[in-house]
Amino acid sequence: MRQMKIETPKGHELVAEDILRRIREGEWQPGLRLPSVVELAEAYGVGRSTIREAASALKAMGWLDVRHGGGTFVKEELPNETKSGAERLFQGADSLIELLEVRRTLEIGAASLAAERRTSADVAKLRRLIETMESCLERNDTAEGERADAEFHMAIAAAAGNSLFVQLMESLSDRFAGSIRQTRELWFYREKATASRLLDEHRSIFEAIEKGDKQRATELVSAHLSKVEHVLREALSK
């Protein structure tokens, strides 16, 4: 693979499509370690950032395993492409944005109630999750960071003290976790400074809920999810 020269249009979407084609056609088998970013950039005639963006998108879709400092591998277990129509809906850009709109509606209301009704146990759980996110940032542990991020939003719903909020969030929990993973892969973890800003946003939301500031909590959640949507639209439009 070191000698390959690939003739393909430029752009990370098209590079991702070509890598995906090679995996689907069996040229690059599950478990295979892909050429380095430098080698792929030379082969495709694009910049390294284009390769990284393509790899991040394919990782978010479940086709690649990007190991920090360890290379990029084809997933041992590839995505099931025979999913139902309803399941496939949640793989597209439009469905992610629609899901963010649902999240905004639910989570703004939940944050307002959480600031009013949170218990000491709720506050303690949210604080632990913030501490986990801080630790993950320091260790560059993206997988655990994604899990803590999703749990943080679920914990806010629980702190709202309304069982229907919890049931609604739990019914969509897998999809919420997937949207968090995909948005983080597409943009948030490209640079450490960006991940740090994301942590700061979560910390501010926590502090507003802890202090019982309903207006501040709802404003912060709304701003956070609006920014996530903006970033997602921007990343997927390139």
133, pLDDT greater than 90: yes
Share of the chain above pLDDT 70, in %: 76
Q: How many residues does the chain have?
A: 238
Question: Can you give the pLDDT at residue 84?
Answer: 39
Question: Can you give the pLDDT at residue 206?
Answer: 98
* Residue 227 vs residue 82, higher pLDDT: 227
* Longest CA span, the chain: 63
205, pLDDT greater than 50: yes
Mean pLDDT of 221-236: 78
pTM summary value: 0.59
CA distances from 198 to 102, 137, 170, 201, 210 (A): 20, 10, 23, 5, 19
